[in-house]
Amino acid sequence: METIIIVAAIIIILLIVIILVWWIAAQNKFRTTQVKIDEASSGIDIALTKRYDTLTKMLDITKSYAQHESELIGSTVQMRSMSSMQERKNFNDSINEAIGRINAVAEQYPILLSSQAYKQLQVAAYDVEEHLQAARRAYNANVSIYNQMLVMFPKSIVANSMGLTPKEFFEAESAKRNDVKML
Amino acid sequence: MNKINWSALSYSLDYDTPFNELNHSERLKNERAAPAYVFFNKTGNPFLGFLRFLKRRPVPKKTMNIPRVMEDLARIKRIKNVCATILLVFLLCGILGYIIHNLLLLIISMPVVLIVVHICNSLVKKNKNGYTEFDYKDYIVNEAVFPVVEDVLYEPHFGIPFNVVMDTDMYRDIGTCMTSDYLTGKYHGVYFVQAELTLFGDSNSNQCFAGRWIIIKYPKAFSGMVTVADKRYLYCVKKHKGLETVKLENQVFNSMFEVQSNNQQLAYYLLTPQVMEKLIYIKQNIGSNVVVCFKHGFMHIGINNKRPAFEPNWQNLDANRDIARFRNDFDLVSSIIEILDIDKSVYIQ
């Protein structure tokens, strides 16, 4: 009888240890994914800040040709603190719109369009855009993994105990989504 | 891993001393001793640095006369066939003599074999103004890529230096390599080089890689390292401790390749959806293992298809067919450059 109790106790202790180890591993996995999401999120912030800087420089150059329009475009986009993905998305949309308007203005001034400085800024804007896309893809991939873990049993128990909630995706710009139309 | 200051490329050589091409082993020894960065030019075509290292001057182009080329190659083929027959007869006589009589006949036949080989070589090289197999290959390559590639330079004797491949740090246990058919140029404003490459293991002489090695100068600036290795080829590929495994959003790609990088975002930046699709296409349609390494601003692509891209069918030469075949082979490089989306005019200053 005593042997059975000892064996049962050992099995229970082993089970508790296994569950504890798994629990800690699951918590660490959540934390690691959160860190990755934060990294990718800061990558988005860096890319957005660079985009804003490029936009400001483009506006400065355009100002000498079309002061009124440049000031008007500049007033619609202001650097702001971004706490949520929706705010980041809105900010990015407004930058996109402003760049589009600057390009429309520039097309009216062939000298501006052909100037070396303006061309360099276009190159920079394109490169920053690509970095932003990479950061967006990395962020969304990490969020997808994180959100999947959050709803999958039994990891969902760990997530609930840690008070974790699903993260929002950084969606493609509305303008780009609208481009995809099946006729 | 040795840290190389790639930003301080300051290697200079005495251009006045011509390279002694006959001293093959000395050249290989020098190549093995040199760090990888000396093989790259700081400005212009980076891949010409290798020829600068070899102190090789551009070889003046011969005026090609295709009927004469065919005549000369047919003559070389005839000489080789005759010599091969003589060699075979003497070898058989020697072996038969050894079996029937004694070792003496075999020993006597050996100097004859050597003399025949020597006569064969001198007959092939006799007509110095004549065309050789290399001239034919040079003609085929130039004709095939001339319309689309600028500043084409083809050196059939040379290949991508061993240390340049080793610097990618992709392979474990590599001892020696064989390389040839160095082709460099500029396609859509992007410099590239491709060569035939065979890698052999260090501890054993197993072939680890045989196929084409392509290097593309990436016009976008990046620092860090990203490697992509075929999952069926991981036994040859080194596992880096400092790099993390990155899962991309394309599940088919993830099932075929293992991506490692020291920066997750860099992997997403370089491996765009189009690049992933292209690598899947290469693997599925060319039926070969693929390794890719992004490092020091270069993209290395190894296509382990065990098939030479530069070898015409010497028994049945047809210039038009060979040009078409090579052009078709070159489509792989051109399509990679196109799909990488790096030939945008905004990047090419």
Q: Does B345 touch chain A (CB under 8 A)?
A: no
Are A40 and B249 inside 8 Å of each other by CB? no
The least confident of B9-18, B21-30, B39-48 is B9-18
How many domains does chain A divide into? 1
Q: Does A145 touch chain B (CB under 8 A)?
A: yes
The pLDDT of A85-95, averaged and rounded, is 82
pLDDT number for residue A13: 95
In this predicted model, what pLDDT tens digit does every residue of B150-178 receive, in sequence order? 888 888 888 898 889 888 888 877 888 88
Q: Compare CB distances from A138 to B220, B265, B347 and report the shortest one's residue.
A: B265
The residues, any chain, with a CB within 8 Å of residue A174's CB and separated by 6 or more, are A93
How many domains does chain B divide into? 2
Tell me the C-alpha distance between B7 and A183, whole Å.
51
In this predicted model, what pLDDT tens digit does every residue of A148-167 receive, in sequence order? 999 988 888 988 888 888 88
B293: phi then psi, degrees, rounded to nearest 5: -140, 125
pLDDT number for residue A26: 93
- Cβ neighbour number for residue B322 with a 10 Å cutoff: 21
Residue A149 lies in a domain: no
The residues, any chain, with a CB within 8 Å of residue B116's CB and separated by 6 or more, are B83, B86, B87, B90
Are B344 and A126 inside 8 Å of each other by CB? yes
- The answer to whether A43 and A135 have CB atoms below 8 angstroms apart is yes
Residue B349 lies in a domain: no
- The answer to whether A143 and A37 have CB atoms below 8 angstroms apart is yes
Q: Compare CB distances from A43 to B247, B265, B346 and report the shortest one's residue.
A: B265
Q: Does A119 touch chain B (CB under 8 A)?
A: yes
In this predicted model, what pLDDT tens digit does every residue of B222-246 receive, in sequence order? 888 999 998 887 777 877 778 888 9
Q: Name residue A100's amino acid.
A: G
Residue A98 lies in a domain: yes
In this predicted model, what pLDDT tens digit does every residue of B251-306 receive, in sequence order? 899 999 999 998 888 999 999 888 898 889 888 887 678 889 999 889 999 988 88
Chain B: nearest CA to A1, how far in angstroms? Answer: 51
* B9 pLDDT above the threshold of 60: no
DSSP-derived 3-state class of residue A69: helix
CATH number at residue A57: 1.20.1440
Are A137 and B249 inside 8 Å of each other by CB? yes
Residue A167 lies in a domain: no
In this predicted model, what pLDDT tens digit does every residue of A16-73 receive, in sequence order? 999 999 999 999 999 999 998 998 888 888 888 888 888 888 888 887 777 767 676 7
DSSP state of A46: H
Are A39 and B269 inside 8 Å of each other by CB? no
Nearest CA to A150 out of A3, A33, A68 is that of A33
Are A135 and B268 inside 8 Å of each other by CB? yes
Residues B197 and B109 in one domain: no
Residue B15 lies in a domain: no
In terms of residue numbers, what domain contains A72? Answer: 37-137
DSSP state of B285: I
Residues B114 and B204 in one domain: no
What CA–CA distances, in Å, run from A109 to A103, B144, B245? Answer: 10, 43, 49
ipTM of the complex: 0.80
In terms of residue numbers, what domain contains B110? Answer: 66-126
- The answer to whether A139 and A125 have CB atoms below 8 angstroms apart is no
Residues B206 and B293 in one domain: yes
Residue B209 lies in a domain: yes
Please give the sequence-ordered ranges of beta strands (E in DSSP) within A39-144, or none if there are none. none
Report which secondary-structure segment, H or E, holds A35.
helix A2-63
Report the share of chain B in percent with pLDDT over 90: 9
Nearest CA to A82 out of A91, A74, A73 is that of A91
Burial class from Cβ neighbours inside 10 Å (0-12, 13-18, 19+) for residue A5 reads: exposed
Residue A92 lies in a domain: yes
Residue B38 lies in a domain: no
Mean pLDDT in chain B? 79
In this predicted model, what pLDDT tens digit does every residue of B179-192 receive, in sequence order? 888 899 999 888 99
pLDDT number for residue B344: 52
